[in-house]
């Protein structure tokens, strides 16, 4: 029996919260328990849910494993993560998704919901056995070829239609492949000067426009991964105004960083879709505030050192995100007054759980609900260091930057995974 004392659920009035048998047992004043965690007025949120995480296992265990990735998730305040399918072998069969799911259960730091590949081998040629993955123990509901766009319009239409049978959703990596051959960074004035091949905004926007129309035509759920441009926001705004069932995510790095960082030629800033202009950053922030973009998803992408310590063109795309996500959202959205804590809970827990059909996460902070909780102190200032990374990789773009706010504690079904700002070490089940 644990009591969280002096905590502010969703940033509201301070209360005490008692956790018992993995659920919230009581909310009130002056509660007592065997274990008392002093909140000092910190914000209590439902455990965060990430719809877009690369855990790299199986295949690249030198960069991340399910265990190291979910430990990073816990430190970042997450209680559930969706593990992307671009592993080796690809998560395109029931066997692979069940393996990833089981590794998550064994590690015990966060619930791992595998994402299934849309096409066999992410090849974009024929559908993977989506139904088998949905029916497996992993209960896959989100399907994505992330890293690759499902660019064939007919295949995309079929995928959108097919997953209706089990309430699935296709999460599209919107990137027109022909417009982005060899692309290295955002196409704009800077790419021309730096001599790095451009990744034009239209390559993202054209696919989103096509896919919202397809989703409308077949009446399916569509989710757009890592929206990065102002133009994409306008298309999504239009689609939602027509009642199309599309949801969208933005990453913390697209909320904070801009393409100017590419001028360093340091591939720590190389990511796909690329960092965009300041006006794009303003647009995606406003869209997240307005609900045009529904959620924040990290696109946590660990990479081994040698894949980043090289020339830009040779480097891998991607950056770490789990441990810094909430602080970046605090910095870019809460402090400027674009979101309050209830809306943060929506964008980072309730809505992603709903899109992923994860039933016991993203729940209200109320008696009888599962105790998946995150305690966040928005005030402390810290300088991000690569040494802070619990992930097996160190490719954080925020190293040396000052961020505000730290996760004090995280509970997964009442069991603390983080306490006193530090990971709880426990033997795997």
Size of the site for other proteins (CB under 8 A): 24
Shortest Å distance, C-beta 256 to other proteins:
23
Residues 6 or more apart in contact with residue 193 via CB below 8 angstroms: none
- Which of 196, 275 has the CB closer to other proteins? 196
**DSSP conformational letter for 400:** T
* Pairing between β-strand 15-20 and β-strand 246-250 as defined by DSSP bridges: unpaired
User: Rounded to an integer, what is the distance from CA 54 to the centroid of its chain?
Assistant: 9
For position 105 contacting other proteins by CB under 8 A, the verdict is no
Q: Which stretch binds other proteins (CB under 8 A): 40-48, 132-140, 195-203, 349-357?
A: 195-203
Taking alpha carbons only, the member of 12, 3, 2, 1 closest to residue 341 is 12
For position 200 contacting other proteins by CB under 8 A, the verdict is yes
Q: Which stretch binds other proteins (CB under 8 A): 42-50, 75-83, 240-248, 302-310?
A: 302-310
- Which of 121, 188 has the CB closer to other proteins? 188
Q: Which of residues 49-88 bind other proteins (CB under 8 A)?
A: none
Shortest Å distance, C-beta 305 to other proteins:
10
Q: Is position 299 annotated as part of the catalytic site?
A: yes
Beta sheet of 373-383, edge-to-edge order:
23-28, 15-20, 2-9, 35-46, 373-383, 402-412, 415-419, 422-423
For position 265 contacting other proteins by CB under 8 A, the verdict is yes
Residues 6 or more apart in contact with residue 429 via CB below 8 angstroms: 105, 106, 108
Cβ burial 34-71 (10 Å sphere, 16+ → b, else e): eeebebeebbbbbbbbbbbbbbbbbebeebbbbbbbbb
According to CB under 8 A, which one of 198, 231, 274, 414 is a site residue for other proteins?
198
Shortest Å distance, C-beta 307 to other proteins:
9
For position 278 contacting other proteins by CB under 8 A, the verdict is no
For position 202 contacting other proteins by CB under 8 A, the verdict is no
Taking alpha carbons only, the member of 369, 368, 327 closest to residue 348 is 327
* Pairing between β-strand 78-83 and β-strand 35-46 as defined by DSSP bridges: unpaired
- Which of 34, 311 has the CB closer to other proteins? 311
Query: Annotated catalytic residue: which of 16, 146, 299, 346?
Result: 299
Shortest Å distance, C-beta 109 to other proteins:
33
Six-digit token pair at 19? 């956790």
Shortest Å distance, C-beta 242 to other proteins:
31
Catalytic residues: 299
> Which residues of this chain interact with other proteins, rule CB under 8 A?
184, 187-198, 200, 264-266, 306, 309-314
């Amino acid at each position: 029996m644990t009591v969280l004392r002096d905590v502010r659920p969703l940033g509201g009035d301070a209360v005490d919260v008692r956790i018992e048998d993995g659920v919230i047992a009581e909310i009130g004043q002056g509660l007592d328990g065997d274990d008392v965690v002093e909140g000092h007025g910190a914000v209590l949120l439902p455990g965060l849910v990430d719809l877009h995480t690369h855990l790299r296992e199986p295949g690249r265990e030198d960069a991340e494993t399910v265990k190291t990735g979910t430990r990073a998730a816990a430190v970042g305040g997450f209680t559930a993560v969706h593990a992307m399918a671009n592993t080796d072998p690809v998560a395109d069969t029931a066997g692979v998704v069940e393996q990833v799911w089981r590794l998550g259960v064994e590690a015990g730091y966060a619930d791992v919901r595998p994402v299934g590949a849309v096409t066999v081998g992410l090849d974009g040629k024929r559908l993977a056995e989506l139904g088998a993955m949905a029916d497996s123990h992993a209960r896959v509901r989100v399907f994505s070829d992330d890293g690759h766009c499902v660019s064939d319009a007919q295949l995309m239409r079929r995928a959108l239609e097919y997953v209706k049978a089990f309430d699935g959703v296709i999460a599209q990596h919107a990137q027109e492949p022909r417009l982005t051959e060899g692309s290295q960074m955002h196409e704009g004035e800077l790419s021309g000067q730096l001599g790095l091949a451009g990744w034009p905004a239209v390559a993202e926007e054209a696919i989103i426009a096509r896919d919202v129309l397809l989703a409308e035509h077949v009446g399916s759920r569509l989710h757009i991964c890592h929206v990065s441009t102002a133009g994409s926001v306008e298309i999504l705004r239009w689609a939602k105004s027509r009642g199309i069932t599309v949801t969208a995510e933005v990453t913390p790095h697209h909320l904070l960083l801009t393409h100017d960082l590419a001028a360093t030629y340091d591939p720590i800033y190389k990511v796909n879709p690329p960092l965009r202009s300041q006006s794009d950053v303003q647009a995606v922030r406003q869209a997240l505030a307005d609900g045009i973009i529904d959620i924040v998803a990290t696109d946590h992408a660990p990479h081994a050192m040698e894949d980043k310590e090289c020339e830009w063109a040779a480097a891998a795309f991607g950056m770490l995100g789990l441990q810094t996500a909430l602080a970046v959202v605090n910095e870019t959205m809460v402090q400027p007054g674009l979101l309050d804590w209830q809306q943060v809970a929506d964008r980072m827990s309730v809505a992603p759980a709903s899109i992923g059909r994860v039933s016991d996460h993203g729940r209200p902070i109320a008696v009888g609900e599962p105790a998946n909780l995150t305690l966040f102190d928005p005030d402390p200032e810290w300088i991000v260091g690569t040494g802070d990374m619990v992930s097996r990789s160190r490719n954080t773009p925020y190293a040396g930057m000052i961020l505000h706010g730290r996760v004090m504690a995280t509970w997964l079904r009442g069991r603390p995974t983080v306490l006193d700002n530090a990971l709880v070490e426990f033997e795997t089940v």
